Amino acid sequence: MSDRIESRLKEDRRFPPSKSFSDRARVASHAAYESMHRQSLEEPDVFWREHTTELVWREPWTKFSEWSLPTARFFVGARLNITESCLDRHLATPHRTKAALIWEGEPGDTRTLTYFELHRHVVRMAAALTDLGVKAGDRVAIYMGMVPEAVVAMLACARLGAPHSVIFGGFSSDALRDRINDCGAKVLLTQDGSWRRGNIVPLKKMADAALEQAPTIEKVVVLKRIGHDREPVVMKEGRDVWWEDLMERPASPTSVAHARKPDAFDAEHPLFVLYTSGSTGKPKGVQHTTAGYLAGVHLSTKYVFDLRDDDVYWCTADIGWVTGHSYIVYGPLSCGATCMMYEGAPNFPDWSRFWQIIERHGVSILYTAPTAIRAFIRAGDEWPKKHDLSSLRLLGSVGEPINPEAWMWYHRVIGAERCPIVDTWWQTETGAIMLTTLPGAAFTKPGSTGLPFFGVDIAVVKDRGEPCAPNEGGKLVVRRPWPSMARTLWGDDERYRKTYWDVIPDVYFTGDGSRRDEDGYFWVVGRIDDVLNVAGHRIGTAEIESALVSHPAVAEAAAVGRPDDLKGQALCVFVTLKAGKKAGRDLKDALAAHIDREIGKFARPDVIRFTDSLPKTRSGKIMRRLLKEVASGGETKGDTTTLEDFSVLAKLRTDEE
């Protein structure tokens, strides 16, 4: 780490919560947080028994945990049905008539489902799936857009004990086929199409192509979202059935009774299989089980977002990713929250869409990604300033490290300098939030993801596992199992062990690099493989990107390496500019000089390329893998179907440096 970076990090600003926020917070002081965290590690049985009393247990657990790494079990002996904690328990309370989901479609149509109505839909779908032959242990694939029925589908599967595998609606037919085949799904739930920037994504057509080579699928249930006049659908006789027909068809009395009073399952019963994206090899199906996952997402939703009964909570992720599973469905519903859902793109028909939604529905908690925040910065402050955002009381960040400049814009423009920001770090494999600051208990530092959550024993270590000194960079590891952790990879225990538990013996290796400062705050810098070795200097791409974005002309930046005969790796950066800023040689020189000042001359990029847009997934993540291929002049490999705009990649390939 350069002297310049180290000096700058020591000057990090601190933003304490306001007294008015702390006075009402669930955890109101740092001392209270420390006490709870200490108990969660030293007396886990006591801690988790106290903090899971709201959940519905058919049979209580007799032992908190037992493990022989990498195998772990939690809430041993317990039996439960997760949907009773998310739905049934609310029906005997005032939450019965409270909005569970407020949904807005991209064309502007809206729907609201109360907890009673959501429960009724889930019971109907569970009974219908039973009549289609689905039973506990069967896998069900869900290939849908952001519609309420997708949530119904997940919960109906969970009610039957049938592990669901939600496959992001932006994946291609080949990616869908591979995931269906890997988990051996019996039924596919999909829809005719979904809306994206005014265009139709033909989900059923892509599903039909996938099913030509997916022999395990016996039935396909199709939701009418677009309409036959806009998106004609071919229904295969004997296999395909319309969602609406299935829900209106009288279910058998046995299936209805079973859906109304579902079976309870062992704490370790598989809940879902979720495939990580971006791999060029075999899909990696992360398997989560029931009780530990529920406990993790329930507790983190409650405390990280400091949920209140009158909140309108909006996690902007897609349910096809783990963030949608944990913080749209299972976590918030188990807490009795009102969840906002939006179907479409954040900038359709223009960049005011998010801010319109917040104003129209009175959103009080916004949880979104740094890439989205940086895109909003580039669009300009005038869009959010047109709308009343005074309903917001808490902001969150998820998906990747947030650079300090984006944090400050989020704080100033969206939060009006009054909303705490919870910057969260976690993974598909961790199931729930692992690092953050509790909004009423601790100050925040722009760019730092904060402190360990309850039950999390996390550290920064060297290659052989020795602890790093304060502010010394190293590998981020978790030193003991935790309840919401993935139990394995579907059908591949050996790959699970080698990927996560064998890199450093007896600890979980996250794959990320980090440092821990003198206050105990963690600064996650990104994937270890995103650290470049340029002429003997190890440079984190996140540091380069953060330095570039701190320049007043830069909206977004992505740094990648390409092979270089002299240096080993050459540093290439792709830069998008703020509105009104002009690209050219003078600005390239200014940016290079800016890197010299912020980090050091050794970090000066070899190539700076200006671009109108960066290749991103529909969830807003920059696809750096594709930028590496562009920078090296190589062929694009692997799955690119999650790209939001394919023309971005084509233009990057045709533009001159």
3-state SS class at 207: helix
Q: Which amino acid is at 494?
A: E
pLDDT tens-digit readout, 226-261: 988 888 999 999 999 999 999 999 999 999 999 999
In 434-506, where does DSSP find H-type helix?
Answer: 493-496
d(CA 598, CA 585): 20
CA–CA–CA angle 433, 293, 22 (5° rounding): 40
Phi, psi of 363, rounded to the nearest 5 degrees: -60, 130
The whole-angstrom separation of Cα 352 and Cα 453 is 34
Q: Cis peptide before 70, with omega less than 30 degrees from 0? A: yes
Q: What is the pLDDT of residue 597?
A: 76
- Rounded to 5°, the CA angle 466-479-493 comes to 115
**Which residues lie closer than 8 Å to 167 by C-beta, 6 or more apart?**
141, 142, 143, 175, 176, 179, 180, 275, 320
CA distance 520 to 649: 40
Tokens 């070899």 identify what position? 606
- In this prediction, residue 69 carries a pLDDT of 82
pLDDT of residue 404 exceeding 60, the answer is yes
The secondary structure of residue 601, as a DSSP letter, is: G
Phi-psi region of 491 (alpha: psi -120 to 50; beta: other; left: phi over 0): left
247 close to 258: Cβ distance less than 8 angstroms: no
**Pick from 299, 545, 517, 608: which is nearest to 401 by CA?**
545
Residue 556, beta-bridge partner list: 576
Whole-number Å distance between alpha carbons of 530 and 533: 10
What is d(CA 294, CA 316) in angstroms, rounded to the nearest whole number? Answer: 21
Three-state DSSP at 598 gives: helix
Could you tell me the pLDDT band of residue 420, with boundaries at 50, 70 and 90? very high
**Which pLDDT value is given to residue 2?**
40
pLDDT of residue 534: 62
DSSP single-letter state for residue 4: H
More confident residue, 72 or 277: 72
Report whether pLDDT(619) > 70.
Answer: no
Give the integer Cα–Cα distance in Å for 452 and 435.
5
pLDDT at position 1, please?
A: 39
Between residues 234 and 560, which one has the greater pLDDT? Answer: 234
Q: Residue 79: its pLDDT value, please?
A: 98
As a whole number, mean pLDDT of residues 328-341 equals: 98
Phi and psi dihedrals of 226, rounded to 5?
Answer: -90, -45
Q: What does the pLDDT read at residue 628?
A: 82
Closest CA to 353 of 198, 189, 177, 162: 198
Q: 464, 486 in Cβ contact below 8 A?
A: no
CA distance 455 to 467: 19
- pLDDT averaged over every residue in the chain: 91
Q: What is the pLDDT of residues 433-485, one digit of tens each?
A: 999 999 999 999 999 999 999 999 999 999 889 999 999 999 999 999 999 99
Higher pLDDT, 65 or 578: 65
pLDDT above 80 for 601: no
Q: Which residue has the tokens 């009402």?
A: 24
**For residue 607, which of 592, 586, 590 has the smallest C-alpha distance?**
592
Going from the C-alpha of 536 to that of each of 539, 566, 571, the distances in angstroms are 9, 11, 13
Q: For the chain, how big is the Rg over CA atoms in Å?
A: 24
Residues with Cβ within 8 Å of 503's Cβ and at least 6 positions away in sequence, in order, are 475, 509
8 Å CB contact between 436 and 301: no
The phi and psi torsions of 215 (rounded to 5 degrees) equal -70, -15
- Gap between the Cα atoms of 551 and 533, Å rounded: 24
pLDDT of 11 > 70? The answer is: no
Q: Tens of pLDDT along 503-519?
A: 998 899 999 999 999 99
At 385, is the pLDDT very low, low, confident or very high (cuts 50, 70, 90)?
very high
Please enumerate, as own/partner, the contacts of 590-596 that have beta carbons within 8 Å and a separation of 24 or more. 590/551, 590/553, 591/548, 591/551, 591/553, 591/554, 594/547, 594/548, 594/550, 594/551, 595/544, 595/547, 595/548
Contact call for residues 323 and 457 (beta carbons, < 8 A): no
Inter-residue contact 419 to 397 (CB < 8 Å) = no
**What are the structure tokens assigned to 128, written together?**
């219908």
Question: Residue 80 and residue 75: Cα distance in Å, rounded?
Answer: 11
Task: Look at residue 6 and tell me whether its pLDDT is greater than 50.
Answer: no
Q: What is the dihedral of CA 70, 71, 72, 77, to 10 degrees?
A: -170
Cα–Cα distance list, 520 to 400, 446, 459 (Å): 20, 15, 10
Share of the chain above pLDDT 90, in %: 73
More confident residue, 178 or 601: 178
pLDDT tens, position by position, 266-313: 999 999 999 985 434 567 899 999 999 999 999 999 999 999 999 999
* Cα→Cα distances 656→186, 343, 633, Å: 49, 36, 12
- pLDDT value at residue 278: 40
**Domains annotated on the chain, with CATH:** 43-345 (3.40.50.12780), 535-654 (3.30.300.30)
Q: Is the model's pLDDT at 315 over the cut of 60?
A: yes
Beta-strand (E) ranges in 451-551? 451-452, 458-461, 474-478, 488-489, 508-516, 522-527, 531-534, 537-540
Residue 586 has pLDDT above 80, yes or no: yes
Residue 537 has pLDDT above 70, yes or no: no
Neighbours of 492 (CB within 10 A): 16
Tokens describing residue 168: 């992001």
The predicted model gives 397-408 an average pLDDT of 90
pLDDT above 80 (res 380): yes
Give the Cα separation of 589 and 44 in Å (integer): 56
Backbone angles phi, psi at 533, to 5 degrees: -110, 100
The per-residue pLDDT for 411 is: 97
pLDDT score, position 12: 62
Q: Are 534 and 604 in contact (CB under 8 A)?
A: no
Residue 324 has pLDDT above 80, yes or no: yes
Q: Which residue reads 């400091």 in tokens?
A: 306
Mean pLDDT over residues 538-549, rounded?
Answer: 77
